[in-house]
Homo-oligomer: A and B are copies of this chain.
Amino acid sequence: MRALLIVAHGSRRPASNDEVRTLCEAVAARDKGLYDKVSCAFLELAEPSIPEGIEALIESGMRDITVVPYFLSAGRHVVEDIPAEVEKVVAPQGVSIRIAPYLGSSESMAELLLKQGRSTG
C-alpha cells in the first residue's frame, strides 16, 4: 500500500493551509492508481504535523510512503527540518519512508512558469 504525503510549510492564514488541502485532493484525483492514499502535513503552524501525518498513514496500512516537500527553495526547512521531522517517526518493520526532491527542484518548473505567463488568470 503506497502513499504520498505532501508537506507544506504551514501558515497562520487558514486559507493558505486549506489551499494545500485542496491541492492534495486534486493530486489524489489526478493520480492514476499509483497511490492508495494522498494526504498532506505541515512543518509548522498547522495540523497535522509531519510525524502525525506519517503515523496516520502507517496506521491506515500504508507501507511505502513518499514525502514530497511543497517548497520552492533548498533552504533550512528542506535540508534540515523536514528530514528531522521524518526521522521522529519510529517506522515499524516493513515500512519504507522516503523524501522526494522538493518541488522547486523539478525540471518541469521552467515550463510551468512559462505556462503561468501565458495564463490569463
A residues bordering B, Cβ < 8 Å? 4, 6, 8, 11, 13, 15-16, 19-20, 23, 26-27, 29-31, 34-35, 66, 68, 70, 72-76, 99-104, 106, 108-119, 121
Contacts and interface: CB of A to CB of B under 8 A. Distances in A.
A11 B76 CA distance: 11
Contact of A101 (B23, B27, B109, B116): B116
Contact of A23 (B16, B19, B29, B109): B109
Q: How many copies does the complex hold?
A: 2
A91 to B, nearest CB: 18
A119 B100 contact: yes
B26 A114 contact: no
A16 B121 contact: no
B70 A30 contact: no
A11 to B, nearest CB: 7
A68 B113 contact: yes
A103 to B, nearest CB: 6
A54 to B, nearest CB: 15
Q: Counting chain B CB atoms within 10 Å of each CB, which of A100, A101, A112, A116 scores highest?
A: A116
B70 A72 contact: yes
